[in-house]
Amino acid sequence: MPRPIILDCDPGTDDALALFLALASPELDVLAVTVAGGNVGLDRTLANALALVALTGSSVPVFAGADRPILGAFKSETRVHGDDGLGGVVLPPGGDPAPGVAADTIRAILRAAPEPVTLVGIAPITNFALALMTEPHLIDNVSEIVLMSGAWGEGNATPAAEFNALSDPEALAVLLASGARIVFATLELTAQALATPAHLAAWRASGTGRCLTAACDIQGSVPLSRRLGGTGAPLHDPCAVAWLLRPDLFTTRPAAVSMDLGPGPGRGRTVIDRWGRTGVPPHALVLETLDSAGFFGLMQERLNRLP
């Protein structure tokens, strides 16, 4: 039976490919797509999510969510994703968002769910935190929470912090205190999903579908990562979805994780105790290594399933 999930996103170039991967995979039953402000403002991330879902032909409902973090001010990342979030790639507009707001929708789905639901967060996870702060007992209806967030070493938004974690560290702290099992696809893991020009050329040669073409155009707009040697750009968010589809592509490590919520230069750091030095029992699972060839093969095969 397909695994029921709620996918929380902020498209965003890599979010676009993660959405395509999820909606192309019969192993997943995407109950809702919820959207936050993140890579760009909510007005753009919502329009992008609607356009991407419509391009796949899916009828999954898309809900608007938080336009700012629980505390502090919103800050976008247009250097990577462009002012529009999709690197200037123009898609046909999607439909209208579903009525209601994301946090209410998440709670309603969890209340009514006949089986536990997996929460997949590839954005600042304000929407999940708002839902669970107001009805914390609903965590009993959550199978696990899978996040593209954090780093056990250097960040990409600051020396200490990864972008999603830094964008709403209080929200991440709420989830870490919820009692759910949390799976982290960190920067160290996503660096192994480095999309090179050769990968994109292979994808383009494999088919002519509109979603495949859009995926290649969107990823092709992303600047090559100076942090990773300038040879490609990491597909951060699809790694979280790929974990649900092909856990055999990953190795993992249990770890205790906490958040730096201070006002200084360490704010947003995910303190990941990979070696058990704190004595705190592990309550999270860190994805450590990725079979890159298998991952890119999975991406290509699923993109070719879409129209």
Residues forming the active site? 236
* Euclidean distance between CA atoms 268 and 151, whole angstroms: 10
Could you tell me the CA-to-CA distances from 243 to 16, 93, 139, 157, 263 in Å, in that order? 17, 30, 21, 24, 33
Give every CB contact of residue 195 below 8 A, 6+ residues apart in sequence: 219, 222, 232, 233, 234, 235, 296
Q: How far apart, in whole angstroms, are the C-alpha atoms of residue 221 and residue 6? A: 27
Q: Read off φ and ψ for residue 257, nearest 5 degrees.
A: -130, 135
CA pair distance 249, 227, nearest whole angstrom: 24
What is the distance, to the nearest Å, from the Cα of residue 221 to the centroid of all Cα atoms in its chain?
19
- Residue 176's identity, in one-letter code, is L
Give the H or E element holding residue 215: helix 210-220
CB proximity list for 170: less than 8 A, separation 6 or greater: 69, 70, 71, 129, 259, 261
d(CA 286, CA 276): 13
- Residue matched to tokens 């304000």: 126
Among residues 55, 271, 297, 48, the alpha carbon closest in space to that of 169 is found at 271
Length of the chain: 307
